[in-house]
Amino acid sequence: MIDYDSYGPETILQVYDARTGMRGFTVIDNTTLGPGKGGIRLAPNVTLEEVSRLARAMTWKNALAGIPFGGAKSGIIADPNKIDKTSFVRIFARLAKPMIPGKYVAGPDMNTTEKEMDAIAEEIGTPKAATGKSLEKGGLPHELGSTGFGVAKSTLTALELMKIKPENASVAIEGFGNVGTFTAQFLVEAGAKVVAVSDSKGTIYDEKGLKIEKLEEIKKEKGTVTAYASQTSRVLPSSNLFTLPTTVLIPGARPDVITDANKNEVKAKLIVEAANIPISPSIENELWKKKIFIVPDFVANAGGVISSYVEFVGGTKEEMFKLVEEKVVDNTRLVLEKAIETDNNPRKIALELAARIISEKYESKN
């Protein structure tokens, strides 16, 4: 069931290729600020409803980041291990071509990379069809770590407001792909201790701290973080990550991971949402009332779309990192300070700020 309101969604495009069985959809939520921007999620269980929720998150994210993009998202229903991803994404782009890039600008997301973004730009015939392209194609690929860099900066800003020094903070991170890896790297560089990381196979937990470079090597060689071993490490189920006694919890993979089933077991003092919609608004509110600080997804993980904007206008890697730090730090501080001042949960504050930006732009155009 897709919810419609005064912001959108404006357009829902569903496409199907009978020859290959490629089935996909794009939800363009709101284009008041510019063309809808959002990645292409490729998974066997991705749904139109999930993509619609993610498109709305992109509407808020782009507005709060102060960049001229609207909100959108795409999904392709397929098992990435059983198809030629590039071929499927090309077909999707061909069928969605009337929308690209005037109404929709693609980007990488779950199971799509710079390789697929290069293919979209080639298929559509313009580099502006997609961001997150390879450096060779004039892109700023997400493999540079823009989202993880922003999540780390958001985390450090929140810890500063909580008067917790990075060296006194323990961190648990869900997911060890592009976002989780760079988040861990940047937090460890700042002095924090990453004690737990999970993937689909389980959680590796070491309260003395994980060696991130070693963990990256193990993940690359063995395909899972659970192959990591030290004298003090333990392998736990993936779901245990969310209830470990850490200072910081960073959900960084799938939606709806903190639910009614585990919300009362959360022990972290700070939750920084690297993934989109990892917690429902009602449960976020309950956690906030328990004095658990929360940085909402579209505040914390805006680094990727800020990078996309810099690429879209032809900026450099250095300009990208500077802008990501500036915007993510400022917005994290603004939202949390207002939340503390008014005793309203941070999502409510962030949504009000983003909605005001869109409303003011809409009124100025009409």
Kindly list the catalytic residues: 73
Which residue is it, tokens 């999620």? 41
User: Cα–Cα distance between 284 and 280 in angstroms, integer?
Assistant: 6
User: Cα–Cα distance between 263 and 270 in angstroms, integer?
Assistant: 14
Which residues in 91-128 are b (16+ Cβ under 10 Å) and which e?
Answer: bbbebbeebbbebbbbbbbbbbbbebbbbbbbbbeebb
- Cα dist from 275 to 3, 35, 216, 272, 299, whole Å: 21, 22, 20, 9, 11
Tokens of 50: 């999930």
**Is residue 252 within 8 Å of residue 174, measured between CB atoms?**
yes
In this structure, how many other beta carbons lie within 10 angstroms of the beta carbon of residue 221?
9
HEC secondary structure over 261-312 = CCHHHCCCCEEECCCCCCECHHHHHHHHHCCCEEECHHHHCCHHHHHHHHHH
Which residues on neighbouring strands pair with residue 74, listed in sequence order? 26, 40
**Is residue 330 within 8 Å of residue 303, measured between CB atoms?**
no
